[in-house]
Amino acid sequence: MYRYKITFAYDGTNFSGFQIQPNKRTVEQTLKNAVNKIAKNPEPPLSVIGSGRTDAGVHALNQVAHFDCPYKLGNDSMRKALNSLLPLDIIVKKAELVSPDFHARFNAHSKHYRYRVDQSDFVNPFKRNYTAHFKYPVDVAKMQKAAQDLVGEHDFTSFVASGSQALSNVRTIYQADVHRDEANNEIVFDFVGNGFLYNQVRIMVAFLLEIGSNQRPVDDVIRVLDAKDRNQARMTAPASGLYLVSVDYGDQNNKTIDESESIK
């Protein structure tokens, strides 16, 4: 078997999230169908393992997954073969032959998520599936200041939705930034961390918007983190504004195998 790492993008609008669900269109099932066609429909079917799950309506610019294939194709041949079988709302940007011990989920060092909020007076029909909408004035400096209280290792119980299956709510955020994109009339939030809980980014964005619109004091992040109570962070921003920007694998980022090498 030959292990491939794929980096791919998708428009999450018409998917019921990444993870396979009965009778629903998902990113994982769509990729799995393509991979198994390339492998000539083996039994049992081949699996596709993603770096993590995204919810219905969430987008990805550079999601990562791996799969094992009984046939060895060149990297670009594999990319083209997959794209020829995939629908137009998914595109494989890169396919790489990797070591059999590479794991898209367990080897991930960090993930970068971005959230976009449109500030038009009314919902822009051409952005409604790709941004959230918040028309009220916000103080970006306040949100940026508050976001720094999220940086570091914390118990994020107050910022995780019910239904989470995580064994621990402790996560580390390495970077949290908020800026105004004047050209597109948007507020953009960026978070980089070692992992994120169910709806965590969307809850943090909603919380920061409350601070930016003077519904909360700028130092309220610390109080709510300490409370470890989801009821203290009430709102969840819509899925439409969320993007998985990239997944970082540290030293394993460059551990690909030359296509001419044999794999034992």
DSSP letter string, 157-170: GGG--TT---S--E
Phi, psi for residue 98 in degrees, rounded to 5: -130, 170
Domain positions in the chain are 2-107, 111-246
> Which tokens is 168 given?
């621990």
> pLDDT, tens digit, for every residue of 157-186?
999 998 788 899 999 999 999 999 999 999
Active site residues: 55
Please tell me if the domain spanning 2-107 has the same topology as the one spanning 111-246: yes
> Which tokens is 14 given?
């018409």
Of 43-52, 147-156, 157-166, the one with minimum mean pLDDT is 157-166
Q: Check residue 236 and give its pLDDT.
A: 97
Phi, psi for residue 14 in degrees, rounded to 5: -105, 20
> pLDDT, tens digit, for every residue of 202-220?
999 999 999 999 999 999 9
> Which tokens is 240 given?
């439409």
Distance CA 107, CA 51 (A): 9
Mean of the pLDDT values across residues 125-138? 97
CATH architecture of 2-107: 2-Layer Sandwich (3.30)
pTM flag (> 0.95): no
Q: Is residue 255 pLDDT above 80, yes or no?
A: no
Share of the chain above pLDDT 70, in %: 95
Band (pLDDT 50/70/90 cuts) for residue 38 is very high
Question: Do the Cβ atoms of 76 and 53 come closer than 8 Å?
Answer: no
Beta strands in 11-135 (DSSP E): 49-50, 59-69, 90-98, 110-118, 132-133
CATH architecture of 111-246: 2-Layer Sandwich (3.30)
